Amino acid sequence: MAPWGYEKDNGPAHWHKDCPIANGKNQSPIDLINGEVKYDSGLKPLTAKYVPFSDAKFLNNGHSVQFQPSAGNGSELTGGPLAVKYNFEQFHFHWGNNDTEGSEHRVDGKMYPAELHFVHWNSTNPSFKDAVGSGGPNGLAVLGFFLKVGAENAALKPITDLIPKVKDAGTSVTVPSNFDMQAILPATLTDYYTYDGSLTTPPLAECVKWIVFKQPLEVSAAQMEAFRSVINRDGKPMGGNYRPPCPLHDRAVKTSFK
C-alpha cells in the first residue's frame, strides 16, 4: 500500500490494513453529540504552562503542518481530567478545502473549517514514543481546538506566516525564538468535552485522553487560505487531511460544562 494519506487509494478506509486497531472500540475522532454527553462537576480547568522554545521547527510532514521543538523545555499540561503532569510534544493542524469541512471532531454533526491539536505525553513515561505504546488511554493528552473563520488570530500569525515556507512535503523552517505559544490558548481552559480515544492518524494507537474545547478559536480567511496552499506528498492540496468520525461504542463523553 502506498504510504497512508487521505486520497481515494490510501485514505481512512484503507488504514485498517496496516493498522487493524482502526476498527477498534476506542477510535478517534468522534461526533460530539450534546444530547449524549454527561456533565461532570469534578472536571476542573486545565493548566498549560508553555515556555518559549529556542529551537523549534515548523514542518510539512506530508500529511499536516506541525510545530515541533527539538527537545522538551518544561512546557507542561496539568489539571482537568489528568491525574499527572503531561509534557508538551508538538502541535499540528487538520483542515478542509472549503469552510464547510476540515475538523476531525464534530459537534452535533457540524464540522468546523479546521482543528488544532496540542499533543502532550504522560510524564511518568521516559519518552513520547513510550507514552504512545504505554497501553490504555492515559499515554497522551491532546487538546483539540476548533478553528472558525473570523478575526485574524494574532497569536497564530507567526505560524501561519511561515506556511508559504513549508508549502512542499518534507520542508521545514526554524521558528523564531520569540514565538509565544501560550498566547494561542484562551486565558482559561474551562469548557471542554473529554473522552478516551486514539491517535486520528496511523498508528491509530488507543492511547489518548482527548480534551476538545467547546469554544472555537478564530482565524482570518487569509489564514485559512494559507493552510489551503499547502501541498501533500502527492503534490496535491493537503486540505481534507481529517479522519471521519468513528463509532463511540460504549464510551462516555464527559463535559466540564452544563
Ligand X SMILES: NS(=O)(=O)c1cc(F)cc(F)c1
Among Zn ion, ligand X, none, partner that 199 touches (CB below 5 to 8 angstroms by kind): ligand X
Cell of 213: 474545547
Q: How far, in Å, CA of 87 to CA of 141, rounded?
A: 9
CB of 257 closer than 8 Å to CB of 39: yes
Q: Is 63 a catalytic residue?
A: yes
Element (H, E) at 160: helix 157-160
| List of residues 6+ apart from 45 with CB closer than 8 A | 79, 80, 188, 189, 190, 256
x/- letters, 106..135, toward ligand X (CB under 6 A): -----------x-x----------------
209 interacts with Zn ion by CB under 5 A: no
Among ligand X, Zn ion, none, partner that 238 touches (CB below 5 to 8 angstroms by kind): none
> Residue 117 Cβ, how far from Zn ion at the closest point, in Å?
4
Cell of 116: 488544532
200 interacts with ligand X by CB under 6 A: yes
> Residue 3 Cβ, how far from ligand X at the closest point, in Å?
13
Binding footprint of ligand X on the chain (CB under 6 A): 117, 119, 142, 199-201
Residues designated as active site: 63
Residues of the shown chain interacting with Zn ion in the complex, contacts defined by CB under 5 A: 117
